[in-house]
């Protein structure tokens, strides 16, 4: 089978970091640890595992962050992955082989594989405290190399684990507990958006929106757009504003339910003045061009993960408000003064879990499918580009320059 693999070669990585200033496409080559290989399909780790054949494999922002070398060389995420890994975790697939302990009715069914490699998937018993509570996205055993019944290497999910393979390949393996059947009427193109929608929905459900009248979604890529749609799908009726640097995303933001979409100038003072005018805040100036707001948004969902976006999200939230960090990034250099000075509540949102919604407990993927099937969550326009796996370099480079291609979500098509 063919699959795209990712592996960090320190010498190549540093070479690429320098070379990309003169030859930007080098980030999608073997120098940056990215290769297309012909390899045997991964073996089932245990009797209650399955092998699936990929239909569509979505290209996540976290994948593109690795291509762009946005994570620092000493990123702590290295402690929670094992390489080389068959890349990719967003998926819609067909079950092709089942282990002897798996119900054979799964054979031939379309599924979305929830990719988290938590305690249950690893065969760790008893599970950690978070997994016992259904918070498997915050499992404490992602780095439990070789622990548990299946002796999986470290890794948070398929696509970042050297044994399972990933959705940038023709096949990968999954624990039966992670299979979520795709409703018959749902298209592959909508189903492959399940994971970004689930990450966005989880972030929405993490926030306390009961008294929030004005919300800012900072970053209108697929995660931010899905988050806007999830706010509306779960009944939020307050004002939602979306901010992004790329104006072509305005129709998408409006279509997902934003009341307004805006861009900002590059100069710091003008940015703060514009946000103050929108939110009813006032600008406070310190020395050396440093600014803060008095007032601001009730809740800010930060969906970029860059230093500037995190820094501004903290400063543009009113005292006592909430900042939900959703974007994948490290934010090194951000000023955390607003957190204590304005007594902000800062929440992290990572992956998916068992949610509490409308008085019941339900997995994030299952809830996404319910909302999609009911028509409350319609994010079909967000998948804008598909590629064959042989075009992986073209796809990754296009993902790094989405504005030039008017792209939102991209996926590899194995059908």
What are the tokens at 145?
């190399």
Confidence at 236, pLDDT banded by 50, 70, 90 = very high
End residue of a domain, out of 348, 363, 398: 348
Same domain membership, residue 182 and residue 225? no
Mean pLDDT for the chain overall: 94
- The answer to whether 296 and 313 are in contact (CB under 8 A) is no
Residue 268 exposed, middle or buried by CB count within 10 Å (0-12, 13-18, 19+): middle
Please give the sequence-ordered ranges of beta strands (E in DSSP) within 184-327, or none if there are none: 214-218, 239-243, 260-262, 282-285, 291-294, 297-302, 317-325
- The answer to whether 60 and 89 are in contact (CB under 8 A) is yes
pLDDT in tens, 117-166: 999 999 999 999 999 999 999 999 999 999 999 999 999 999 999 999 99
In-domain check, residue 354? no
Same domain membership, residue 37 and residue 176? yes
Same domain membership, residue 73 and residue 208? no
- Does pLDDT of 196 surpass 80? yes
Same domain membership, residue 342 and residue 216? yes
The pLDDT score that the predictor gives to residue 79 is 73
From CA 230, how far away is CA 212, in angstroms rounded?
15
pLDDT in tens, 245-268: 999 999 999 999 999 999 999 999
- The answer to whether 224 and 303 are in contact (CB under 8 A) is yes
Same domain membership, residue 157 and residue 291? no
pLDDT in tens, 379-400: 999 999 999 999 999 999 999 9
pLDDT in tens, 198-231: 999 999 999 999 999 999 999 999 999 999 999 9
Which helix (H) or strand (E) covers residue 345, if one does?
strand 345-348
- Does pLDDT of 36 surpass 90? yes
The pLDDT score that the predictor gives to residue 74 is 65
Q: What average pLDDT does the segment 97-111 reach?
A: 97
What are the tokens at 267?
């100069």
Same domain membership, residue 386 and residue 290? no
The pLDDT score that the predictor gives to residue 335 is 85
From CA 294, how far away is CA 316, in angstroms rounded?
8
The pLDDT score that the predictor gives to residue 331 is 67
The pLDDT score that the predictor gives to residue 76 is 66
Residue by residue, DSSP assigns 127-152 as: PPHHHHTT-GGG-TTTT-TT-TTTTP
Same domain membership, residue 325 and residue 237? yes
Q: CA 361, 366, 368: angle at the middle one, nearest 5?
A: 110
Q: What total of structural domains would you count in the chain?
A: 2
From CA 197, how far away is CA 355, in angstroms rounded?
14
Torsion angles phi and psi, residue 170, rounded to 5:
-65, -30
From CA 251, how far away is CA 339, in angstroms rounded?
33
Closest CA to 205 of 296, 142, 299, 116: 299
Same domain membership, residue 183 and residue 57? yes
The pLDDT score that the predictor gives to residue 72 is 67
Confidence at 287, pLDDT banded by 50, 70, 90 = confident
pLDDT in tens, 60-98: 998 998 898 887 666 767 778 888 999 999 999 999 999
The pLDDT score that the predictor gives to residue 124 is 97
Range of the domain at 18: 2-117+152-193+380-413
């Amino acid at each position: 089978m063919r699959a795209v693999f990712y592996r960090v070669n320190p010498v190549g990585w540093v070479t690429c970091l320098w070379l990309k200033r003169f030859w930007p496409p080098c980030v999608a080559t073997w120098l940056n640890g990215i290769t297309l290989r012909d390899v045997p399909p991964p073996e089932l780790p245990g009797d209650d595992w399955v092998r699936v054949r990929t239909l569509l494999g979505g290209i996540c922002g976290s994948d593109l962050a690795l291509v762009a070398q946005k994570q620092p060389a000493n990123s702590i995420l290295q402690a929670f992955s094992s390489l080389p890994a068959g890349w990719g975790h967003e998926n819609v697939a067909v079950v092709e082989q089942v282990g002897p302990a798996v119900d054979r009715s799964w054979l031939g069914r379309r599924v979305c594989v929830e990719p988290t490699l938590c305690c249950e998937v690893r065969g760790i018993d008893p599970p950690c405290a978070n997994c016992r509570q259904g918070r498997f996205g915050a499992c404490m055993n992602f780095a439990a190399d070789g622990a548990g019944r299946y002796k999986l290497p470290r890794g948070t999910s398929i696509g970042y684990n050297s044994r399972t393979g990933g959705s940038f390949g023709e096949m990968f393996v999954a624990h039966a507990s992670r299979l979520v059947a795709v409703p018959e009427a749902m298209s592959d193109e909508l189903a492959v958006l399940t994971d970004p929608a689930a990450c966005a929905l989880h972030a929405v459900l993490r926030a306390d929106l009961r008294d929030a009248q004005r919300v800012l979604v900072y970053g209108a890529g697929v995660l931010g757009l899905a988050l806007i749609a999830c706010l509306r799908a779960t009944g939020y009726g307050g004002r939602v504003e979306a901010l992004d640097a790329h104006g072509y995303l305005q129709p998408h933001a409006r279509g997902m339910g934003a009341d307004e979409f805006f861009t900002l100038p590059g100069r710091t003072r003008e940015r703060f003045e514009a946000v103050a005018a929108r939110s009813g805040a006032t600008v406070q100036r310190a020395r050396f061009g440093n600014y803060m707001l008095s007032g601001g948004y009730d809740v800010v969902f930060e969906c970029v993960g860059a230093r500037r976006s995190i820094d501004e999200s903290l400063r543009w939230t009113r005292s006592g408000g909430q900042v939900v960090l959703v974007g994948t990034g490290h934010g090194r250099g951000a000023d955390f003064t607003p957190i204590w000075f304005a007594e902000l509540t800062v929440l992290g949102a990572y992956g998916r879990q068992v949610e509490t919604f409308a008085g019941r407990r339900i997995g994030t993927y299952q809830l996404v499918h319910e909302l999609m099937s009911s028509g409350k969550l319609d994010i079909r326009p967000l998948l804008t580009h598909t590629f064959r796996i042989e075009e992986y370099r073209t796809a990754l480079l296009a993902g790094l320059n989405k504005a030039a291609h008017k792209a939102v979500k991209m996926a590899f098509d194995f059908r």
